[in-house]
Amino acid sequence: MKRILLPFLFIFLAAITHAQDTTSTEKLIILWPTEYKWKVASSQQDGKVQLIEIIPEKERLDKWTIMGTMMSLNGVKNLSVTMVMNAMYDQAKQIAPEAMLTLIEKNEEVKNPWVIFKIEAPAYTGDKKPESQLYYVIQGNAALYSNFVAVKEKKLSDSFVEKWTKIFKSSILEP
């Protein structure tokens, strides 16, 4: 999962402007299902980028079955969520040539455009283990938020996509 996230950071760091509103308290609230008994596995903040990874409480960061990731890029504004989706897929293809992108749903006609998509990879270069992610990207007023849930499967089941799409769409962007 970090295999895709880190290149993504480099793509969008250039989009962060020095006109950032450092007084913003905006945040995206996602109600992660309690059935997994989540714990914070990793939390990093580097200036304008915050990254939090969560896993079930009895798992380890190097051995997980399901992982949630929340990333905010403060100061990134007016970025097309379709462009973000395509950039994420391009990065995935570099390390997982057989990765497949599927758009689930998007709305770019609202104040805070969003997109939900999945990237399914049967294997990675140098690593035959599969991993698939369902992403939710939303353009906030003060930041770009990229979130996903990942499992170590070649494909995401329809029920998994339906469940997590509902969870992501019920998130709240607080000003």
Angle at 106 between CA 141 and CA 6, to 5 degrees: 65
Residue 38, beta-bridge partner list: 56
Instruction: Show Cβ contacts of residue 15 under 8 Å, excluding neighbours closer than 6 positions.
Output: 73, 76, 79, 144
Give the separation between CA 49 and CA 130, rounded to whole angstroms: 27
Nearest CA among 126, 128, 150, 134 for reference residue 55: 150
CB-based contacts of 64: which residues, under 8 Å, 6+ apart? 41, 55, 56, 152
**CA pair distance 37, 58, nearest whole angstrom:** 8
157-to-34, 56, 160 alpha-carbon distances in Å: 20, 20, 5
Q: With 50 as the cut, is the pLDDT of residue 173 above it? A: yes
HSE toward the beta carbon, residue 61, CA cutoff 13 A? 10
Tokens standing for residue 45:
């903040």
Among 1.10.8, 2.60.40, 3.40.1000, 1.10.3470, name the CATH number for the domain at 2-12+35-155+163-174.
3.40.1000
pLDDT tens digits, one per residue of 144-158: 999 999 999 999 999
Residues above pLDDT 90, as percent of the chain: 77
**Residue 98 DSSP one-character state:** T
What pLDDT was estimated at residue 132?
97
Question: Mean pLDDT across the stretch 10-31?
Answer: 59
Is the pLDDT at 72 greater than 60? The verdict is yes
Under a CB-based contact definition with an 8 Å cutoff, are residues 39 and 55 in contact? yes
Looking at residues 93-120, what average pLDDT do you find? 97
Q: Which two tokens stand for residue 35?
A: 């059935």
